[in-house]
Copies of this chain bind each other. A is one copy, B any other.
Amino acid sequence: MRNILIKIAYCGADYCGFQVQKDKPTVAEKLQDAIEKVFHKRYDIKGCSRTDSGVHARDFAVSFKCDGSIPCDKIINALNVNLPADIVVKECEEVPEDFHARYNSHGKRYVYLIHNSTIRDPFLDKKCLEYKYKLNDKIMDEAARHFEGTHDFSAFCSAGTTVKDFVRTIYSARVIREGDMVKFIVEGDGFLYNMVRIMVGTLLSVSMGKIKPDEIPEIIDSKDRSRAGKTAESQGLYLDKVFY
């Protein structure tokens, strides 16, 4: 059998995340439907990550084993005509038999979008966090840099995970402002359950003055979820890049 790797992008607003769930619309289900239409057989697919309900992806990797000899460039178009407008296949290539979209990845970049204005953007409904109080992006950036490095991020992980090892390496964490848009950009070798969203909630607390930037190392060391900020809404989160 061939092992096919596709890179997709999707607007997650109308989906309960990537992973198939019974009686709920998911990206994986739409993708399996499209693959079935093209290959006339329903195949298992492996995603690079689970994403929460409402989370978006600009670059999400999916691998699946299949029969047939459709060339990769034809697979892109064939899948796209069978997918809804909010999911698109961008790239397709054949990979070695033992390649797995999740286990072969050596890191990811996430971007979290905060539209910081008293007037919401009607074109970004469900595509960002709307936040009307003026954010101090400078102090948020100062705080974000403390996430960098190899740490036990237990304080930044929601309950309900099956993970045993909470140590992750953050290569880079930055907050930048582009007009009314405040962006949190974070790259790391892996992320715990809700980790980016809790980081964002913590940075919002920093902007509000409830947490000081140099308290971040203490919060990490505490391994205590209650010391970090709230889990920010899912709709601002984008899986921006998967690294192989």
Q: Interface residues, chain A, CB within 8 Å of chain B?
A: 9-11, 56, 76, 80, 85-90, 119-123, 125-127
Query: Given the complex, which residues of B lie within 8 Å of A11, measured CB to CB?
Result: 122-123, 125
Contact of A85 among B10, B76, B80, B120 (CB under 8 A): B120
- Give chain A's interface secondary structure class: loop
Q: How far is the CA of A127 from the CA of B127 in the complex (A)?
A: 14
Q: How far is the CA of A121 from the CA of B127 in the complex (A)?
A: 14
Number of copies: 2
Query: Given the complex, which residues of B lie within 8 Å of A123, measured CB to CB?
Result: 9, 11, 56, 86, 127
B56 close to A86 (CB less than 8 A)? no
Show 26 A/B contacts (Cβ-Cβ < 8 Å), sorted by A.
A9-B121, A9-B122, A9-B123, A10-B122, A11-B122, A11-B123, A11-B125, A56-B123, A76-B119, A80-B119, A80-B120, A85-B120, A85-B122, A85-B125, A85-B126, A86-B122, A86-B123, A86-B125, A87-B122, A88-B119, A88-B120, A88-B121, A88-B122, A89-B119, A90-B119, A123-B127
Query: Given the complex, which residues of B lie within 8 Å of A80, measured CB to CB?
Result: 119-120
Query: Given the complex, which residues of B lie within 8 Å of A122, measured CB to CB?
Result: 9-11, 85-88
Closest to A77 in B: B118
Q: How far is the CA of A56 from the CA of B126 in the complex (A)?
A: 17
Query: Given the complex, which residues of B lie within 8 Å of A85, measured CB to CB?
Result: 120, 122, 125-126
**Whole-angstrom distance from the CB of A204 to the nearest CB of chain B?**
20
Closest to A9 in B: B122
Query: Given the complex, which residues of B lie within 8 Å of A9, measured CB to CB?
Result: 121-123
